Amino acid sequence: MPDPVSPVPPVPPVPEDPADRIRIKRVYRAARVSDGRRILVDRLWPRGVSKDRARLDRWCKEIAPSDALRHWFHAGPQEWDEFERRYRAELAAQPGMLRELVALTATDVVTLLFGSKDEERNNAAVLAEVLREEIVRGRRAG
C-alpha cells in the first residue's frame, strides 16, 4: 500500500496593498506558509533556535539596532519612545536597505522576525512601521 502523501497547505492570498504585506512575528513561533518571506531583523542569532527551525529567507542583522542602542534599551525598556526615535534615526541612515525590504513587498508577504519577548515594543515593530511609511511615501511620489 502506498504511503499517504501529506497535503501541501494552500498558499494564502497575498494582500492587495503592499503595506498590508508586512508582518512581524517572534522567531520562536512556528513557521507558516502564510509568513511569506521570513526575514530575521535582530543583530544576534536567537538563543535556542536552529537554522533549520527558523526557516529564514534572509538574516538582515545590518538593519537591526546598533549594539549601543540595543544595550541602552535593554537597560531601560521603559524608554520606548526614545528607543523608537533613536532607531528611526539609525534606519534613516540606511535608505538602500529600506528600499530593498520595501521591494520585497511588491509580490509577497514579508514577515519580520524578532527574538524579543515583548511582541509590541521591539525593533521589528518599529521597522515594520517605517517600511509601511516608505510604501505610502512611494505611492505619493509615484
Instruction: Give the tens place of pLDDT for each residue, 91-123.
Output: 999 999 999 999 999 999 999 999 999 999 999
From residue 122, how far is each of 65, 127, 139 by CA, in Å? 10, 9, 27
- What does DSSP say about strands 37-40 and 110-114: parallel, antiparallel, or unpaired? parallel
- The residue among 4 and 137 whose pLDDT is bigger is 137
| Residue 140 predicted with pLDDT over 80 | no
Whole-angstrom Cα distance, residue 140 to residue 134? 10
Asked if residue 64 lies in contact with residue 42, where contact means CB atoms within 8 angstroms, the answer is: yes
Strand order across the 110-114 sheet? 22-26, 110-114, 37-40, 58-59
Domain ranges of the chain: 18-141
| Residue 76 predicted with pLDDT over 60 | yes
Q: What is the pTM of this model?
A: 0.89
Q: For cell 494564502, name the residue.
A: 12
